[in-house]
Amino acid sequence: MMRATIEAPEAVGAVPERWPRPVPPQRPERPVALDRFLLGAVALFALLRLPSFLEPHWYTDEAGYVTTAQAALRGGLLYAQVWTNKPPLQIWTVAAVVRTLGTSEAALHVLPWISGLLTLLAVDHAARRLLGPRRRVGALVLAAILLGTPLFDAELILPESLLIAPITWAGALVVTRIAAPDLRPWPRWPLAAGLLAGVAVAYQQTALAETCAFGLLLALSPSGSRSRRVAIYAAGFAVVSLLWLVPSVTLAGPGTVARALVGFWVPFTQSRYPVHAGGVAIALLLPAAVLTLLVVAAWLLRRDPSPTWRPWVWAGAALLVPTVARQPYPHYLLPSVAPTALVLAGLRLPARRGARTPPRRTPSRSQRLGLGSLAAGFALAVWGGSVAGADWVVPFDAGSAGLAAYYGGAMATLAGGESLAAYQDGFDRRVPEDAAVAAWISAHGLDGAPAVVWSSDAWVYADAHLRLLLPTPPIYNDVVLVGGSGALARRVRQLRPELVVTLSSSMTHYPGLQPVLSAGYTEVDRSGGEAVWLRDGVVGAVRGTSSRAGG
């Protein structure tokens, strides 16, 4: 029976003195060919990403970030006046894109494209130093496919799609240089790794998992300068973190920032855990086992100078996030793509009988225990993280046919066989409804009106340039923040928005707004499940409204 083993790359020449074998120097006659492989991977990535620039406004998280960024550009103070549960770099980045390029999906997807490309280059940087030529190509192709396709939402302007570039480069620096002696008493690469990890955490708190894993690897490195490395790495991380944390806490207050960045996530995560007594403790057994196995493996293998086992610790730490969260969101898996590509490309199946292979030194007992612990921890992390799933693998909506529709429709659109509108309408039934509602609002001169969108889909805010009155765009977060559907409805009554947009499913889940609408608003337009309501005092001032009231 063939078994996959954690193996060092192909070596050339004499039998090594330790197991696993060190990476041989690059052959001088191959660099041009190898560079062609990188260009091929980049071309594959770019080709797979091409349909992302044809996508419509359909993904609700993007709508939330865009609307929050627009509110911040209007002068709203993050956390205090405009709520978000992410560190500010995510909103600042989206705001920069909105300010310079606009809110179209083509504009929003430029930055994730750049981030994915930088991530692919980081994979190549690590693979050149950890893997042989053939395995390097395998890592590049696997990473290009996983980053280029929409399986893990890499094309969307989400925190994970932006943080993957800095966290992957931080990991590439750590795992490739950690075993080499430092020529300088105060090396600069740990500082670069710390700065990059700090940037990743400034996009989303979950990058702390990889940040801590890199710190563990540095602390257990075979180099005699490991204490200086850890100190330099921690200093770089602290500098970036303080640059955004101090202003945020000063302006919004420590309690407000803590509730947004930490307190919100506790009930959010607990909602996915069993409600019976001891349910949380039982559910945490799996991530605790993964963490224990990874730490034990790193300890047992700490004196091994080969860097080939360290991407396993990196990948396992990245997969701990979806393992703990237990949320069905594929983008939670995105930060694990790069280290997992390195891990899978480095696997080697035993040679067939009769095949000539160079002799290998038998690993020590400590190495065998470490490698077993490493493989078990990684396998459990993959199992736990699989709950995140993948998008576009199977149809998620009656109008979608998965990857076939995503790429086939894009090709048909580019070739002129299908209209862009028909292709975009297939993403989500709310796409044409949002477009119709936004068009009605614009046609009646209500662009920029103070409004409430009582829906989990907040794209109408951006499409019609409506002014956000609630703390945050998605209604499900507002319900939590204010204290329930009834309390939020009372807040809406106090705010007296000129315009309210409702979604039938949101009205079913959060019915508290219905008495407010019945007492002071008139339905003036309906497109599918979406309805536009105007405050009674505004209806008469809008030309043409009365003829469409109730329709």
pLDDT tens for the chain, 551 residues long, are 343 444 444 433 333 333 344 444 444 444 444 588 999 999 999 999 999 999 999 999 999 999 999 999 999 999 999 999 999 999 999 999 999 999 999 999 999 999 999 999 999 999 999 998 899 999 999 999 999 999 999 999 999 999 999 999 999 999 999 877 777 778 899 999 999 999 999 999 999 999 999 999 999 987 768 889 999 999 999 999 999 999 999 999 999 999 999 999 888 888 888 877 677 788 899 999 999 999 999 999 988 877 889 999 999 999 999 999 999 999 999 999 999 999 999 987 655 555 555 556 667 888 889 999 999 999 999 999 999 999 888 654 444 568 888 999 999 999 988 899 999 988 888 899 999 999 999 999 999 999 999 998 899 999 999 999 999 999 999 998 999 999 999 999 999 999 999 999 999 999 999 999 999 999 999 999 999 999 998 887 775 544 444 44
- Quote the pLDDT of residue 18: 38
Q: Are 360 and 19 in contact (CB under 8 A)?
A: yes
Distance CA 96, CA 115 (A): 15
Which single residue is written with the structure tokens 């293998």? 301
Distance CA 116, CA 111 (A): 9
Q: Are 505 and 494 in contact (CB under 8 A)?
A: no
Start-to-end C-alpha separation, the chain: 68
Q: Are 59 and 391 in contact (CB under 8 A)?
A: no
- Quote the pLDDT of residue 8: 41
User: How buried is 53 (Cβ within 10 angstroms: 0-12 exposed, 13-18 middle, 19+ buried)?
Assistant: middle
Q: Are 545 and 531 in contact (CB under 8 A)?
A: no
Secondary structure of residue 23 in the 3-state scheme = coil
- Quote the pLDDT of residue 39: 95
Kindly state the helix (H) or strand (E) to which residue 228 belongs, with its residue range.
helix 226-252
Distance CA 143, CA 161 (A): 14
User: Of the candidates 230, 244, 233, 172, which has an alpha carbon nearest to the alpha carbon of residue 201?
Assistant: 244
Long-range CB pairs of 140-145 (<8 Å, 24+ gap) are 140/37, 140/38, 140/40, 140/41, 140/341, 141/41, 141/44, 142/341, 142/344, 142/345, 143/41, 143/119, 143/337, 143/338, 143/341, 144/41, 144/42, 144/44, 144/45, 144/48, 144/120, 145/44, 145/48
Q: What pTM did the predictor assign?
A: 0.88
